[in-house]
Amino acid sequence: MKAIRLEEPGRFVGLDLEPVSGPLRPGEALVRVHRIGVCGTDIHAFRGNQPFFTYPRILGHELGVQVLELEGSASASYGATGPAEGIRPGEYCAIEPYLNCGSCIACRQGKPNCCVKLSVLGVHVDGGMRETLVVPIRKLHPSKTLALDQLALVETLAIGCHAVDRAGLREGEFVLVTGAGPIGLGVVQFAIEAGAQVIVLDINGQRLEFCRNRLGVPYTIDASRENVLAVLAEITAGDLPTAVFDATGNGRSMASAFEYSANGARLIFVGLFQGEVTFNDPNFHRRELTILASRNARPEDFTRIIALIEAKRIDTSPWITHRAALNDVVKEFPLWTKAETGVIKAMIEV
């Protein structure tokens, strides 16, 4: 079978791997990969600035697949009965790429997204940039109507969905989302869905325009040329936003979130920064802020997103800006790492 592997930073190779052989174990599914979404994690791995990442690695964790073979039911595997109960060969699915242990403190609390032994497909173990793959049945999220592209977008959207869920947004409140990359855009869509008044902050004018024109965001701020605090105060009649999401993974940006929030606000750190974020304690205390981390997504987020796309409450059409066949990934991928190509989401077809 064809596969693409990242050998070391900056170097993909095309491979001809042995097809998956031998019997499946109980609770496993063999799937045909049809679509792979490319995200920031893949780009960091390619650039070599993904800490703790080991090479070589087959990337790919945003997957639209078709079930080829199943061994037993979803409940035959460890942990709670999966969402894929009753699934049949031939069905199309999104994959929840977070492989969890089922028994640690986080798993026991229904938080497999932050399992102590979490292993993410395409990050910690080989992922989906290949024709077939074996995954736990309970990680399959089927849909009878979603297109393959849409199935591959579910994971990206799930990150935003989970972050918005963590915040418990109220209708009508002002919400700031910093960072208009795919993760931030996911947050934006679910914040709008929750009825919040969304403000997006970025330094990329093209992305802010995308937010206004394609996602219907009412307010955007370009930090490269506007006084952020003054504009925020103006939009919110002096109150400042009551929920601030940071989807930049930039330490400076995360630290400034403390300045941009209203008294009593929640800060939700979605983007991951490999370092220390510091803040002024009186500033934090005076506002009585709540800081929340948001990591990956929960199985319920996948189920909910699929239902929302099926009901046409979430529109995925603006997302995909670039597309390539698996064979062309080695050549095309480097272009997707450049902001000037206007890439929001690149989709690989297998």
3-state secondary structure of 202: strand
- Residue 66 in tokens: 């078709």
220 forms bridges with which residues in the sheet?
A: 200
Q: Does 107 bind Zn ion (CB under 5 A)?
A: yes
- Residue 120 in tokens: 């993410």
Pick between residue 39 and residue 151 the one whose CB is nearest to Zn ion.
Answer: 39
In the complex, minimum distance from the CB of residue 162 to Zn ion, in angstroms, rounded to a whole number: 13
**E strands in 39-127:** 62-70, 92-95, 98-99, 119-120
Pick between residue 245 and residue 260 the one whose CB is nearest to Zn ion.
Answer: 245
In the complex, minimum distance from the CB of residue 106 to Zn ion, in angstroms, rounded to a whole number: 5
Give the residue, chosen from 29, 58, 114, 115, that forms a contact with Zn ion under the rule CB under 5 A.
115
In the complex, minimum distance from the CB of residue 40 to Zn ion, in angstroms, rounded to a whole number: 7
Instruction: Give the contact letters, 54-93, x = binds to Zn ion (CB under 5 A), - = no.
Output: ----------------------------------------
Give the residue, chosen from 29, 31, 79, 100, that forms a contact with Zn ion under the rule CB under 5 A.
100
What is the spatial order of strands in the sheet that 290-293 belongs to? 219-222, 197-202, 174-178, 243-246, 266-269, 290-293
Cβ-Cβ contacts under 8 Å for 238 (sequence gap 6 or more): none
- Rounded to whole angstroms, the Cα distance separating 63 from 149 reads 9
Pick between residue 104 and residue 272 the one whose CB is nearest to Zn ion.
Answer: 104
In the complex, minimum distance from the CB of residue 41 to Zn ion, in angstroms, rounded to a whole number: 5
DSSP letter at 218 equals S
Q: Does 39 bind Zn ion (CB under 5 A)?
A: yes
- Residue 212 in tokens: 């206004």
Pick between residue 39 and residue 297 the one whose CB is nearest to Zn ion.
Answer: 39
In the complex, minimum distance from the CB of residue 93 to Zn ion, in angstroms, rounded to a whole number: 17
- Residue 201 in tokens: 């902050």
Q: Does 101 bind Zn ion (CB under 5 A)?
A: yes
Residues that bind Zn ion (CB under 5 A): 39, 100-101, 104, 107, 115
